[in-house]
């Protein structure tokens, strides 16, 4: 038990309570019986954390994306009642499958979690004893074949399940690598151009050998069509991040595809305990938040949003170009983060600041602005900004480039 003195001391360190403490009394307000609306707390300020304008994109380090009020309302609503977790996931899964015209779906703990439980289900089927054996894959099919150009860090989600990753360079090598231990073929949409085998051929190989195919589309919304395209194309499992372009909860994601495989993936998720997925819990609040984020995203005017981004990017580009020696390039990455993007570079004889210093200055200025970049360029996108912030970014960028 906390002593009264310790309790008061603790309370006095909670800033919003500051005004009430020191009276020497535990007032009803302190005990949560306040009748007046308390001042809205700025938690980040209390913690001494600076917030920033996100001119970079959907980066986990920058906490991804922001949720709309409809999504946060769903999350708050979820916190008010008890439900059966499996029933909620079952029904939300059906609803998402209907919205995305695929066989089945589940809300996962991010695209990374979707990869882990997806593969785990492929390996175990719905046998809970086999499920409990993972990540020990002794005696089980456990090899996942990946094209060399698709082999990035996120494949750790597959290793976590106990898989062995087999890397191949060509269709011929893939056919040769397939054996009785092959569990799954995994494709990274972002790196489509870095592999010889493209979608249709990849799926055909899987079908020919009766091996499930999985595509990681974590950052591939927009375009909205991608939410439908890959399940229809024939991939057995498709993963999206919830907290990137869909603007759902940052730690949620979507696993779409074949009903039997998703049912098997669910064997590995809470409330079941003896599973590799027990730590990948998705709470009811985020399950609802994910569903509503998806509904909101599908209902959006995507054309209008795209035009807004183009205009914002052009405004920032024009502002940078008004500084002598600066060059800009507006581009759209073909896969992943497929949004209007700006690359800025300059003649170092005319602009006396390095891109790295300029980015640091933007981040340390008021308001703080986060960008991406390398030794030669600054990269900017506007899709994670609030409308209007592009003006602030345009102004600050110019100030930094002319070194004021
Ligand atoms: C972001 C990302 C992931 C991880 O997604 P989370 O939703 O953060 O778990 C996996 N693969 C790729 C290609 C990504 O871009």
Closest CA to 292 of 239, 248, 240: 248
Terminal Cα distance for the chain, rounded? 56
Backbone angles phi, psi at 130, to 5 degrees: -65, -40
- pLDDT at position 137 is 98
Backbone angles phi, psi at 150, to 5 degrees: -105, 0
Ligand 1 atom having least distance to the Cα of 115 = 10
* Helix-, strand-, coil-residue percentages of the chain, each rounded to 5: 45, 15, 40
CA of 162 to the centre of ligand 1 (A): 19
pLDDT in tens, the chain (404 residues): 445 555 445 444 554 443 444 444 444 444 555 566 777 999 999 999 999 999 999 999 999 999 999 999 999 999 999 999 999 999 999 999 999 999 999 999 999 999 999 999 999 999 999 999 999 999 999 999 999 999 999 999 999 999 999 999 999 999 999 999 999 999 999 999 999 999 999 999 999 999 999 999 999 999 999 999 999 999 999 999 999 999 999 999 999 999 999 999 999 999 999 999 999 999 999 999 999 999 999 999 999 999 999 999 999 999 999 999 999 999 999 999 999 999 999 999 999 999 999 999 999 999 999 999 999 999 999 999 999 999 999 999 999 999 86
Residue 125, Cβ density class (10 Å: 0-12 exposed, 13-18 middle, ≥19 buried): middle
Using alpha carbons only, give the angle 90, 129, 82 rounded to the nearest 5 degrees: 30
Structure tokens at 303: 């054309």
Indicate the helix (H) or strand (E) that contains 54: strand 53-54
> Residue with structure tokens 């785990």?
120
Residue with CA nearest ligand 1 atom 12: 218
Q: Which residues line ligand 1 (CB under 6 A)?
A: 60, 110-112, 154, 188, 190, 216, 218-219, 241, 253
Closest CA to 105 of 93, 91, 92: 93
Which of 106, 109, 112 to mutate to test ligand 1, by most ligand atoms within 8 A of the CB atom?
Answer: 112
Residue with CA nearest ligand 1 atom 1: 218
Which of 117, 187, 216, 249 to mutate to test ligand 1, by most ligand atoms within 8 A of the CB atom?
Answer: 216
CA–CA separation, 201 and 157 (whole Å) = 24
> Residue with structure tokens 């079908």?
207
Q: Which residues contact 160 (CB under 8 A, 6 or more apart)?
A: 116, 135, 276
Ligand 1 atom having least distance to the Cα of 336 = 15
Ligand 1 atom having least distance to the Cα of 241 = 7
Closest CA to 362 of 384, 386, 339, 389: 389
CA of 207 to the centre of ligand 1 (A): 26
CA of 183 to the centre of ligand 1 (A): 22
Ligand 1 atom having least distance to the Cα of 253 = 7
CA of 265 to the centre of ligand 1 (A): 18
> Residue 143 in contact with residue 179, Cβ under 8 Å?
yes
Ligand 1 atom having least distance to the Cα of 114 = 9
> Residue 239 in contact with residue 114, Cβ under 8 Å?
yes
> Residue 311 in contact with residue 383, Cβ under 8 Å?
no
Ligand 1 atom having least distance to the Cα of 58 = 1
- pLDDT at position 215 is 98
pTM of the complete model: 0.90
- pLDDT at position 1 is 45
CA of 198 to the centre of ligand 1 (A): 20
- pLDDT at position 35 is 60
Structure tokens at 250: 């940052």
CA–CA separation, 55 and 343 (whole Å) = 12
């Amino acid at each position: 038990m906390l002593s009264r003195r310790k309790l008061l001391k603790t309370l006095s360190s909670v800033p919003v309570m500051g005004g009430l403490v020191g009276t020497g009394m535990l007032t009803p307000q302190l005990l949560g019986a306040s009748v007046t609306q308390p001042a809205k707390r700025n938690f980040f300020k209390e913690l001494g954390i600076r917030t920033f304008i996100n001119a970079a994109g959907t980066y986990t380090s920058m906490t991804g994306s922001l949720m709309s009020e409809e999504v946060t309302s769903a999350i708050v609503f979820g916190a008010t009642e008890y439900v059966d977790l499996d029933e909620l996931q079952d029904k939300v899964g059906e609803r998402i499958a209907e919205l995305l015209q695929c066989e089945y779906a589940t809300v996962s703990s991010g695209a990374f979690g979707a990869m882990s439980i997806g593969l785990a289900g492929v390996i175990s089927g719905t046998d809970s004893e086999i499920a409990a054996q993972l990540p020990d894959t002794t005696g089980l099919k456990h090899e996942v074949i990946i094209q060399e150009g698709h082999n990035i860090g996120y494949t750790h989600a597959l290793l976590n399940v106990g898989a062995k990753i087999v890397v191949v360079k060509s269709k011929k090598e893939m056919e040769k690598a397939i054996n009785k231990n092959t569990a799954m073929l995994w494709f990274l949409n972002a790196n489509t151009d870095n592999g010889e085998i493209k979608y249709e051929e990849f799926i055909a190989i899987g079908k020919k050998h009766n091996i499930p195919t999985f595509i990681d589309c974590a950052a591939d919304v927009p375009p909205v069509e991608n939410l439908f395209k890959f399940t229809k194309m024939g991939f057995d499992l498709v993963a999206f991040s919830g907290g990137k372009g869909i603007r759902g909860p940052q730690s949620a994601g979507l696993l779409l595809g074949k009903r039997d495989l998703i049912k098997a993936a669910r064997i590995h998720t809470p409330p079941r305990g003896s599973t590799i997925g027990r730590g990948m819990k998705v709470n009811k609040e985020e399950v609802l938040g994910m569903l509503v984020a998806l509904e909101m995203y599908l209902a959006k005017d995507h054309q209008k949003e795209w035009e807004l981004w183009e205009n914002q990017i052009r405004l920032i580009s024009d502002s940078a170009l008004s500084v002598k020696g600066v060059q800009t390039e507006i581009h759209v990455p073909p896969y992943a983060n497929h949004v209007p993007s700006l690359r800025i570079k300059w003649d170092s004889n005319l602009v006396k600041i390095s891109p790295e210093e300029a980015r640091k200055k933007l981040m340390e200025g008021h308001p703080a602005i986060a960008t991406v970049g390398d030794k030669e360029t600054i990269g900017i996108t506007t899709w994670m900004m609030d409308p209007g912030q592009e003006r602030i970014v345009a102004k600050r960028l110019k100030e930094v480039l002319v070194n004021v």
